[in-house]
Chains A and B, each alone.
Chain A
């Protein structure tokens, strides 16, 4: 009986170790992004960062609490990637409208849209919506280095009871 448990525990440890290694290897880019994203937010340091490598042109994810904190402190420009119709129905108070479709059509005009060293947070309709990620990538390609994606998006923000505005941009 003791032997059986011993071999079972060994089995479980082996399975977990193999799975963890596979998961870490498969998602190494994502984890590196998430780790650096967290560190950047904690450091709050404005340092001269070297030009990002091609595989780093993915916006960092950012959670609700930090979006609220950075919005309240006016440390970031909040950008709504949804259509003007959704924006008019309700958006994060203080957000600016920049639909992904418009950004795609005039990608060249993105360069001068915000201050070059601005911290930008994009969002759309929550975790099922990928427009904010796409817009974030476009902004990074346009030369903005401090771009974050708030994946919880408008639904999470609204449900948290944080300030919401309606109407045009």
Chain B
């Protein structure tokens, strides 16, 4: 899961203009906001992906990824409703076109995986004692 987001992020970081174009094609965000999102979003994906892979601060990273997936699903659904025939812009920009329907199904799968990660994480927390430093912070 983390590796998928790292892979997606690196492709987008390599081509921010192409990604901005993909965002603009959704016709949701205004002109400059498309570029701002294209500049920041891949780095959010990258950081969260790295956190998931390394197992450090998994809960925060997974929650952000879950939220991002919800946003992607909403954007794709709106593209489908408006009949936009666009590339989802999920991975390589300007590559083979991925239909919004396929991207939507993929994001639903990612969302399910995120929920699984969060459940596993909370189980770990319950079974393992809290870190002494955290306990001291609050004490």
Contact = CB atoms under 8 A, between A and B. Distances in A.
Given A20-B40, A23-B42, A128-B18, A156 B25 contact: yes
A26 B39 contact: yes
A11 B42 contact: no
A61 B17 contact: yes
A151 B47 contact: no
Interface string A14-27: 11101110111011
A127 B35 contact: no
Interface in A31-50: 31, 34-35, 38
A22 B94 contact: no
B103 interface: no
Contacts of B60: 8, 11-12, 14-15
B22 A31 contact: no
A31 B64 contact: no
B20 A61 contact: yes
Q: What DSSP secondary structure best describes chain A's contact surface?
A: helix
A108 interface: no
Contact of B64 (A15, A23, A63): A15
A23 B43 CA distance: 6
B94 A128 contact: yes
A30 interface: yes
A61 B21 CA distance: 9
A3 interface: yes
Contacts of A61: 17, 20-21, 35
A128 to B, nearest CB: 3
B68 to A, nearest CB: 11
A12 B64 contact: yes
B17 A19 contact: no
B40 A128 contact: no
A72 interface: no
B25 A30 contact: no
A159 interface: yes
A27 B16 contact: yes
Given A12-B60, A23-B39, A127-B18, 19 more contacts: A3-B138, A8-B59, A15-B44, A15-B47, A15-B51, A15-B61, A16-B44, A18-B47, A20-B40, A24-B40, A27-B35, A27-B38, A38-B32, A61-B17, A61-B21, A63-B24, A63-B31, A127-B25, A152-B25
Interface of B: 13, 16-18, 20-22, 24-25, 31-32, 35-36, 38-44, 46-48, 51, 57, 59-61, 63-64, 85, 87, 93-95, 125, 134, 138
